[in-house]
Structure 1
Amino acid sequence: MDLRKIQITGGSSFMITLPKEWADSVNLKKNDTVGLQPQADGSMIIYPGGTSTSPKGSTKTIEADGVEDKDFLYRKLVGAYIAGHDSIILHSDVGLSSLAASTASSFAQIAIGLEIMEESDTSIMIKDLMDRGEMRPAKSVDRMKVLVRNMLNDIMDGLENGDVSLLDPMVDRDREVDRIDWLISRQVNIHQRDTGLSRRMGLDLCEISRCGYISRSLERIGDHAVLLASNFRPLIDDPTDLDREIIATGRDVIALMVDSVGTWSNKDMDAANRCIERGERLVKRSLELSDLADSLSGKPAMATELIAGSVKRVAEYSMDIAEIAINSAMD
């Protein structure tokens, strides 16, 4: 931190000098205008040029030479995307391999907002085409909630109606949930690096950070939806006396998940507390369901045990969201 003493000019005006290194870095010259924006915490932001503008986009270069693990290269691309870089360059001194090129192409097709803009034998440039002024993580959380809710509802409908076809698309639908989770994580990082962006959009940075926590809980619930789908198949093939209890408990935990997200959106502390209490009861029901699985045999017994575990985890993740809602309501 560069500390400056306040001086008085004209008998009544306070004055400080600006660090020359900073002024040169943003091309400030004599008689240029700067913008001053007071903050709620008593600090002041100085904007060169007189307006609050977003910082220049960053570029991340990933060297592909020597990387033979496709999954590792893919994780690097995902990491650069989530970190918030506007451009990602995949580079090779000797020429990109077909593995590297295909990995970059698959990644650009899956990640939201990206497009391959330049491609040569030695490099691929992937750019983010999304408007930063439209980045509202809370909206993405709502979309994620709907996708996960629909996944869970279809799983319960599959068991209730004996329709295994409803379980088949769960892996693909979970990928869509993962894509939104990446997007929210990216948006959170961008807002944290460019705090002026959240101010211009009228968004609270603490709430933006909480979007990331809620997104992660919903993403994990989506993972459990995939597990539930795989474990429901033995029960559809061989119905048991516990199917009704499984469906009833499942429906209740779906409602809990939806309501928990709603308490965060509405900053409803009392409703969030009720969700936590409901969650505690559902955790007990899931443990009882696990005990009842001992009365079964074969694949249905194992499936019921695993289903009870997933239901318990969904209830616990929903309670985590409700606790975030209480924290939010206390702001």
Structure 2
Amino acid sequence: MKMEIRRVQMTGGASFVVTLPKDWAEQQKIKKNDPVGIMIQPDGTLVVTKKITEEPDQRTKEINCSTITDPAFLFRMLIGAYITGFNVIRLTTKQRFSPFVRTGVRDFTQMTIGQEIVEETDTVITIKDLLNPAEMPFDNTIKRMFVIVKNMHEDAIAALETHNKELAQDVIVRDMDADRLNWLIARQTNMIMQNTSLSRKMEISQSLAMHYYMLSRIIERVGDHAVRIAEHTLPIVGADIDKKILTAIKKSSTLSLEIFDRSIVSFFNTDMKEANRNIESISALENICGDINNMVLRQDTMIAINIGYIAESIRRSGEYAGDISETVINLLIENEQGPHKKKTGK
């Protein structure tokens, strides 16, 4: 879109005036004496909008289920509509819904936050978002994700050490808790990008919202690796694993989680130096995981393969935590004062 350059004029000796583009005003159906809203953004830019109320835009997504036969495809469409910020999702069909549609809708409402079925007939199902985005601050969601994922990793390692099959299976189930919070942050980020008034209401800039979204994606991936550790624990539950290997696994896991913990702390403390030190510590983790891979060569094939995958997931978790520290540095370079610090006047 081409930028229009307009000169600032002065009227009455005190007020600065800039005219609005005629094409834009006509497209928005703005007439003489109509009010418009002007919002100052954190980066100093101004947003001019016809919308002057705080009420969020009501966006509806229509999904015709008449030609959908794949339950997984339907679920992905529902998640896509949720993440992109639609307030209402309306499913229709020419004849009665197939049973998998109703099952998929119920799974969707249970796996997402704030989605409720408000209408259900033979040919129409309406899902409405009942959550006020401002009631779920980004900080709280990220901290909750971190606790969930960290506990998943710890329990996956404990399941390996104690031969606890049920605990490993529980880790796999808990992954959905991390996923639903990641989807929520993705949804809120998209809504903020579409609605600048929501950005102001939640007291978060669009740029910072994107950093939170990147952070949630990384934490979700750490959770995925906790699941992989649990999955590769199940085939070797009860196996006779060399105690030296278990000790090395526990050591690498502890270091990986320490990097993960410090990366989150550096984000909330806006500590660039700590974030940099955290990245430098990843090489020690890689060395330990490399030693584990060498040690398992003396084990049975089944044990060696699964321990190798477990060590790989521990290493990858630490590297993802390093990515969080890199995100912290990028954010603080962009905003030297830090995203959580406010300017004070004299």
> What TM-score results when the alignment is normalised by the length of structure 1?
0.90
CA RMSD of aligned residues (A): 2.4
Correspondences of 1:101-140 after superposition (within 5 Å): 101-140=102-141
Q: Secondary structure at the residue paired with 2:288?
A: helix
2:71 is matched with which residue?
A: 70
State the 1:104 CA deviation. 1.3
Q: Secondary structure at the residue paired with 1:45?
A: strand
Residue of 240, 257, 262 corresponding to 2:260: 257
Q: How many residues align?
A: 330
Q: Secondary structure at the residue paired with 1:225?
A: helix
Distance 1:137 1:150 in 2: 20
Correspondences of 1:89-238 after superposition (within 5 Å): 89-238=90-239
**Contact (CA 8 Å) 1:4, 1:16: kept in 2 or not?**
yes
2:344 is matched with which residue?
A: none
**Contact (CA 8 Å) 2:42, 2:205: kept in 1 or not?**
no
Post-superposition Cα deviations, 1:90-124, rounded to whole Å, max 9, x if no partner, equal 11123322222221122112111100011122211
Residue ranges of structure 1 left out of the alignment (5+ in a row): none
* 2:315 is aligned with 1:322: no
Q: Secondary structure at the residue paired with 1:285?
A: helix
* 2:45 is aligned with 1:38: no
Q: What is the identity, as a one-letter code, of the residue corresponding to 1:124?
A: I
Q: What is the identity, as a one-letter code, of the residue corresponding to 2:40?
A: P
Residue ranges of structure 2 left out of the alignment (5+ in a row): 336-346
Return closer, same or farther for 1:123/1:21 CA change in 2, 3 Å cut-off: farther
Distance 1:42 1:256 in 2: 36
**Contact (CA 8 Å) 1:135, 1:187: kept in 2 or not?**
no
Q: Secondary structure at the residue paired with 1:125?
A: strand
Post-superposition Cα deviations, 1:158-212, rounded to whole Å, max 9, x if no partner, equal 2333433321212210111111111111111111111221123221222210111
**Contact (CA 8 Å) 2:160, 2:237: kept in 1 or not?**
yes
* 2:264 is aligned with 1:272: no
State the 1:285 CA deviation. 1.6
Distance 1:37 1:221 in 2: 38
Distance 1:230 1:65 in 2: 37
Post-superposition Cα deviations, 1:51-96, rounded to whole Å, max 9, x if no partner, equal 4524422111111111110101111111111111111111112332
Residue of 229, 243, 248 corresponding to 2:246: 243
Distance 2:213 2:283 in 1: 24
**Contact (CA 8 Å) 1:267, 1:325: kept in 2 or not?**
yes
**Contact (CA 8 Å) 1:264, 1:328: kept in 2 or not?**
no
Residue of 307, 310, 319 corresponding to 1:307: 310
Q: Secondary structure at the residue paired with 2:286?
A: helix
Correspondences of 1:283-298 after superposition (within 5 Å): 283-298=286-301
Distance 2:268 2:13 in 1: 51
Distance 1:46 1:294 in 2: 65
Distance 1:43 1:236 in 2: 59
Q: Secondary structure at the residue paired with 1:245?
A: helix
Distance 2:27 2:119 in 1: 29
Q: What is the identity, as a one-letter code, of the residue corresponding to 1:288?
A: D
Q: Secondary structure at the residue paired with 1:126?
A: strand
Return closer, same or farther for 1:104/1:172 CA change in 2, 3 Å cut-off: same
> What TM-score results when the alignment is normalised by the length of structure 2?
0.86
